[in-house]
Structure 1
Amino acid sequence: MSLTLRDTLLEEALQLFQTQGITNLSLERIMTKLDISPATFREMFHDKEDLVLQTMQYDIERQKREHVELFQRVPNPVGRLLSLLELGIRDLRKISSPAYFSDLVQHYPQVWAVGMQHLEDYSYPQTHSLLNEGVVQKLLRGDINIALVSKIIIEQLNMVLNEQVFPASRYNVAEVFRSVYLYYIRGLCTDEGIKAASSYFARM
């Protein structure tokens, strides 16, 4: 897929925010870093908050495209769940600024709400479907409450990203994410499911 100028700018802005935070970057500094003029910026974005919003939307669409490709490669639902976990860990490891998530939550609540709505509208149904497939294929335990477990998996993400629970100054968010999800998903598996996904468990 060829990138447009907007795509390139959003990709660069996202990397900038994830490595340097958001609130400590002035709009002038952002434009300098992106190497664009104020006129070009105004053609594409209303203001800094609109840029932050568009980077969130861009990243959500990127994830969706990756998931389509992943599901074409990975056949079984447990493997898909664990592959989604791998992608999540990879993405979190790219975020080197401890201020990134707290900036979104505290200073850009409308943008954060878009991310939370994505979890509800996309991630929850996706997780629910994979869990259901896993139970049907006897890779996941038959006694799990699929709706409840789907909700727990989504809410665990909120816990992982909660600065009050896991402050970035003390915890590596990617490692917290791995520790929360890897063992939880393993506990949902039948013996057959663990065997089917052994290569995923081994490399995480």
Structure 2
Amino acid sequence: MNTTVKDTILGETIILFQQEGIEAFSEDELRQKLDISQATFNELFSSKANLVRQTLLFDIEKQQKYQKELVKDAKSAIEEILLMIQNGIKNMKATNPAYILDLQQHYPEVWQIALDHLNTHSYHQIYDILNRGVQGGEFRKDLNLQLVTKIMLEMVGLLLNPQVFPPERYSLSEVYRSIYLYYIRGICTENGAKNADNFFAKYSV
């Protein structure tokens, strides 16, 4: 099977999942939506759970490439991290909360992959940005980088916990904004805060 064909299928599947949730579709309904035969499905995926797993891995890789492109022209560490937060808010607005809930409740092994990615790739990514920001005088020099990075990652778990922020009661994008943007400003130096203000003047977050 052509890799491009498989990538196209995975790209269409992640859109379906993030718009409607995973459990909104049976395996047969997914095949119909994706316009692929049973034979093609069986050739590419051993089960619906395997499709979910491959789709998440595909999305992680896509997001990593996009983030590199997103921040390549950032003029400062504060702009870099705020661009990533802005992108996170946009993704949150576009994602049906059912997608996260379905991963957590029905595909815990796949959800663990997402958490592991958060605690490895995302940890180092945030740590490196914060470290550059400290060296550049944008973030306070008294920061405990390991602790602040851990806090920022734990905020993700807090945000995605439906028992803390039930999606029917709270806008996840507003929770995301409230958790992150105010925290980031609190760890800025005066110079960093000015850079943050300049960012908000240029971009709608």
Name the TM-score class by shorter chain. over 0.9
Pair 1:194 & 2:182 matched: no
Amino acid at match of 1:53: R
Runs of 4+ in 1 over 6 A off after TM superposition: none
Pair 1:80 & 2:80 matched: yes
Equivalent runs, 1:23-172 vs 2, <5 Å: 23-95=23-95, 97-172=96-171
- How far the C-alpha of 1:93 sits from its partner, in A, is 1.3
- How far the C-alpha of 1:71 sits from its partner, in A, is 2.8
Match of 1:8 in 2: 8
**Partner SS for 1:73:** coil
Q: Gapped runs of 5+ residues in structure 1?
A: none
Amino acid at match of 1:85: I
* Contact 2:79-2:196 within 8 A present in 1 as well: yes
- How far the C-alpha of 1:24 sits from its partner, in A, is 3.0
Q: Gapped runs of 5+ residues in structure 2?
A: none
* Contact 2:18-2:99 within 8 A present in 1 as well: yes
> Aligned equivalents of 2:199 and 2:86: distance in 1?
9
Give the stretch that moved more between structures: 146-155 or 191-200.
Answer: 191-200
> Aligned equivalents of 1:16 and 1:71: distance in 2?
27
- How far the C-alpha of 1:75 sits from its partner, in A, is 2.6
Root-mean-square deviation (Å): 1.2
> Aligned equivalents of 1:99 and 1:190: distance in 2?
39
- How far the C-alpha of 1:73 sits from its partner, in A, is 1.2
- How far the C-alpha of 1:66 sits from its partner, in A, is 1.1
- How far the C-alpha of 1:197 sits from its partner, in A, is 2.7
- How far the C-alpha of 1:198 sits from its partner, in A, is 2.0
Instruction: Indicate the percent of aligned positions where both proteins have the same amino acid.
Output: 44
> Aligned equivalents of 2:141 and 2:54: distance in 1?
41
Amino acid at match of 1:170: R
- How far the C-alpha of 1:102 sits from its partner, in A, is 1.0
Match of 1:185 in 2: 184
> Aligned equivalents of 2:197 and 2:131: distance in 1?
20
> Aligned equivalents of 2:198 and 2:55: distance in 1?
34
**Partner SS for 1:99:** helix
> Aligned equivalents of 2:146 and 2:97: distance in 1?
32
